[in-house]
Structure 1
Amino acid sequence: MFVIGALNPIALQFGPLTVRWYGLIIASAVLIAVGLAMREVRRQGLNEDVVYNLILGAIPVAIVSARLYYVVFRWDYYAKHPGEIIAIWDGGIAIYGALLGAGLFIWWFCRRHGLSLWQVFDIAAPTVIMAQGIGRWGNFMNQEAYGAVTTHHFLAQLHLPTWMMQQMLIGGAYRQPTFLYESVWDLVGFALLMTMRHAPRCFKRGELFLTYVMWYSYGRFFTEGMRTDSLMLGPWRISQVLSVLLCVGAMLTIIYRRRHDANLPWYDVVNAKGDS
């Protein structure tokens, strides 16, 4: 019987130059996200040049902060292997690190250029969760972000194709495809946010972003609990702690803003200048 082995994580090789699927998948996700976000930027009447500058600044900040976050919580390893600190092509970037770093940069940029922070966050939210869903397939190609040992029978019951099940054969044992669970959760969230965001009187300004935070954090809490490679702080899985704080915080923020600001604008009401 013909048996499919693990997929090659290297997409292209040009002499000493190696192009990995991990990087190609993440880069593709970012490009698609930017394209979709700019469509909404034009709809909202924002200055496209200013937003492009925002994106060009936020992307490298997100990459660096994602890596720093990962390295800090794996310092026991990287202190002994400092040459690997910059090797992001082998994996090892943390989504929460990217979101926190990019979020701080966007806050600074919006203050500097007079943009509405909530408006920018709302525009970005659906495309960010889409990029997260696509990016998980980079983890799949690197055979990382997987869960506990399982059986071939269990994976077959999920109706996974053979090539996917074989990629989940890691270290001589089949693993839970937690990358897939999170990817599906993210892409469902993307579809819901894209479908609902222009519904009349559905979201107040900022609530599209806060709904994204709740949706992603809720799903991440459970997928993180299934993983075997979690970043830890003592006995705690860091991403689970952050997920609880972010989900509860976003929910309370929506409630507080609705109760204390009757004049919050609706997301779907847009005039020629992008105000709503």
Structure 2
Amino acid sequence: MIGYVNRVAFELFGLSIYWYAVIIISGVVIAMVLSSREAERVGMKADDVTDFMLVGLPLSFIGARLYYILFDLQPYLADPIQVFNIRSGGLAIYGGLIVGGIWLYYFCSRHFISVWTFLDIAAPSVMIAQSIGRWGNFMNHEAFGGETTKAFLQSLHLPQFIIENMYIDGAYRQPTFLYESVWTFIGFIVLLFLRKKTGLLKRGEVALSYVIWYSFGRMFIEGMRTDSLYLVGSIRVSQLLSFILLVGAIGVFIWRRKQNKQLKSYDRSHWKNQWIV
């Protein structure tokens, strides 16, 4: 048996640096690089992405933490200091996206940038960051599903180190972290392909496609997890929100096409030097 992976990546001045943090930050850096490059292709400045992230990133982490705490409040009321303990996980992606979206609207309004343009630039980058970030959950042995068998995991042709690390609390578990990581990675490739097809998608539809893709997959994967946050009874918060976002994004996609026949396509050459609203 290979044994559990070590959650600690390395020690720095006596402080344990966890793989969770290393992986999350790596995903963010990759997202920033990809978004900055795409911004320049459509006539924006790479600095716009950097300026947005300088404030947006810490705000998104705060939003992700607050979202998680609000829907699992009791442990933190009993031990308030744990609110600040994020090294062991406890970040909810939807909370980060909500707060980040609010900051994005303010930032774009202040700098006279189209919100839809910025969202289209960022969407694939956010998707790949999510795909990478799920491996932080793997290192923490969290975001796993219900009980399964070793034979089932082997039938998926998974590497042995993943199989052995899915043995949690006395049983093998569904690797839901991996399902979501693969789903978002495929989504990243799909969004890049769609975005490069000149004239296929209108402005804003790359972002809407992201919401549709991610929400559809998360809705089913969340149903397999054993550590979900619950709203009332058996209603899972992320599952309900995924359904609402999925239906809403499809509705907005259709409505925008019907309401405005003159929507501009996501066309890099067409947008060059025409990115200001």
CA offsets 1:35-71 (integer angstroms, 9 cap, x no match): 0111101101113323321121111111000000001
Task: Find the aligned partners of 1:71 and 1:54 in 2 and give their Cα distance.
Answer: 25
The two structures, once aligned, show a CA RMSD in angstroms of: 1.1
Deviates most, 246-255 or 52-61: 52-61
Aligned residue runs from structure 1 range 95-106, under 5 A: 95-106=93-104
- Of residues 42, 45, 64 in structure 1, which corresponds to 2:43? 45
2:21 matches 1:23: yes
Alignment size in residue pairs = 274
Task: Find the aligned partners of 2:255 and 2:271 in 1 and give their Cα distance.
Answer: 26
2:165 matches 1:204: no
The answer to whether the 8 Å contact 2:113/2:275 transfers is no
Percent identity over the alignment is: 47
Aligned residue runs from structure 1 range 17-96, under 5 A: 17-96=15-94
Task: Find the aligned partners of 1:166 and 1:271 in 2 and give their Cα distance.
Answer: 50
Task: Find the aligned partners of 1:149 and 1:112 in 2 and give their Cα distance.
Answer: 50
State the match for 1:267 in structure 2. Answer: 266
CA offsets 1:49-100 (integer angstroms, 9 cap, x no match): 2332112111111100000000111111110011110111110000000111
Task: Find the aligned partners of 1:122 and 1:272 in 2 and give their Cα distance.
Answer: 15
Deviates most, 262-271 or 28-37: 262-271
TM-score under structure 1 length normalisation: 0.97
TM-score under structure 2 length normalisation: 0.97
The answer to whether the 8 Å contact 2:37/2:46 transfers is no
CA offsets 1:158-210 (integer angstroms, 9 cap, x no match): 11111111110111110000000000000000001111202021110000000
| One-letter code aligned to 1:250 | A
Unpaired segments of 5 or more residues in structure 2? none
CA offsets 1:194-231 (integer angstroms, 9 cap, x no match): 11202021110000000000000000000000000000
CA offsets 1:75-132 (integer angstroms, 9 cap, x no match): 1111001111011111000000011110110011111111100000000000101100
Unpaired segments of 5 or more residues in structure 1? none
Shift of 1:15: 4.7
Task: Find the aligned partners of 1:234 and 1:271 in 2 and give their Cα distance.
Answer: 46
State the match for 1:240 in structure 2. Answer: 239
